[in-house]
Amino acid sequence: MKYFHLIWAALFRRKTRTILTLMSVLAAFLLFGMLDAVRVAFNSGGDAAGVDRMVVSSKYSIIQGLPQSLVARVQATPGVKNLTWANWFGGYYQDRKNQMVNIAIDPNYFDIYPEFSIPPEQLQKFRETRTGALVGESLARRWGWKIGDKIPISGAIYPNKASGDTNWSFDLVGIFKARDEKQRGAEQQLFFRWDYFDEANSYGAREVGWLIVQVADPQKSDEVAKAIDAISANSDHETRTQTEQAFQLSFAKQLGDIGLIVSAIMGAVFFTLLLLTGNTMAQAVRERVPELATLKTIGFSDVSLLLLVFAEAVLLIVIGGSLGLGLVSLLLPVIGAASGGMLQLPPVGAGTWLTGLLMMIGIGLLVGVLPALRAMRLNIVDALAGR
């Protein structure tokens, strides 16, 4: 640490070069931070999902429903603490481009999803209003909806029995919020009542899309899942029960191998960065050969010179990289706000910082190797003579 000022001075010996290199490192880690946020968003069905929740859906296809009669039987399964159910509805608001996540739910949905907060009187209103709907705060802000508005939805999968077409209208009775900043994306949903949906859609087969089961003991969820699946075994609506995390991950996986794409891009970026900073460090050491020789003359050991150059390389990358990751932390909320909550990426987490720091130190050491060895092996006489 006592040599810090020496390393610092060496680093900024040529300001232009160091600043330009820092900018390249910054750009690389800016990209790393953003792509890692995307990767985390895709793989974190995980963090958002409750550990004690499991999803019961059709074994054969996402589009197959389950009979509502299953609800009572699943409820009676030992180990099931609570359950609710939902049905995908789909549709768009005003224009086909504004596809929405509309889901028919039972009002006790919010007991099982405590991560949403909703004023009790609004939830009560929802229980009392047959055509009532609840929307997330981000969604309400996006369209400027207020409580009391009628919300028209078109193009859903289910035709309305009364009108014969797929135009539906709901009364907005409440607005819910995600308690955790990270889950703002979940505020893009509209919920309405399953009993109204079941009664008013012209397919009306007392079907539910999927069940959400809360287990009493997450340790025993495997056994509970088996017991639930056994209920419908060999019937024409066999189920598959899996943790909510596994359920959500299966969707992310279907979009494509985001992890692979991210690693491929970052591979290209870091390879380029390695070459670029490696060149800078080589130049820096080459220029300073007489100075390094002077240091040796006044008593610096070979090892301490080696360490000095390593420290310089690592410091260069760590400064640039931290600035890059810091910039991502500032940018992500801005992007989220600018896109009206449509593009919600999780903030840069401890995991990303840790991976990032390890990458920085690793790259720093790698680019430092050759120049550091060169500095260590300097022969004082030759170096001072300029040979």
Interacting residues toward other proteins by CB under 8 A: 16-17, 20-21, 23-24, 26-28, 30-31, 34-35, 59-64, 90-92, 96-97, 99, 154-157, 159, 164-167, 236, 238, 250-251, 253-257, 264-265, 268-269, 271-273, 275-276, 279-280, 282-283
The residue behind tokens 């309400």 is 140
Q: Of 66 and 112, which CB lies nearer to other proteins in the complex structure?
A: 66
Q: Least distance in Å: CB of 289 to other proteins? A: 14
Residues contacting residue 345 through CB under 8 Å, at least 6 positions apart: 34, 37, 38, 41, 332, 335, 336
Q: Least distance in Å: CB of 60 to other proteins? A: 5
For residue 79, CA distances in Å to 54, 57, 218, 246, 365 come to: 12, 18, 9, 20, 53
3-state secondary structure of 259: helix
3-state secondary structure of 243: strand
Q: Least distance in Å: CB of 95 to other proteins? A: 11
Q: Report d(CA 319, CA 334) in Å as an integer.
A: 23
Q: Are 194 and 104 in contact (CB under 8 A)?
A: yes
Q: Report d(CA 99, CA 200) in Å as an integer.
A: 21
In one-letter notation, the amino acid at residue 136 is: G
Sign of the alpha-carbon dihedral angle for 374, 379, 381, 387: negative
Q: Of 21 and 243, which CB lies nearer to other proteins in the complex structure?
A: 21
Q: Of 75 and 250, which CB lies nearer to other proteins in the complex structure?
A: 250
Q: Of 59 and 125, which CB lies nearer to other proteins in the complex structure?
A: 59
Q: Least distance in Å: CB of 236 to other proteins? A: 6
Q: Least distance in Å: CB of 144 to other proteins? A: 23
Structure tokens at 308: 């000095």
Q: Of 61 and 219, which CB lies nearer to other proteins in the complex structure?
A: 61
Q: Are 74 and 80 in contact (CB under 8 A)?
A: yes
Q: Report d(CA 277, CA 328) in Å as an integer.
A: 21
Q: Of 4 and 251, which CB lies nearer to other proteins in the complex structure?
A: 251
Q: Least distance in Å: CB of 246 to other proteins? A: 9
Q: Of 64 and 131, which CB lies nearer to other proteins in the complex structure?
A: 64
Q: Least distance in Å: CB of 93 to other proteins? A: 12
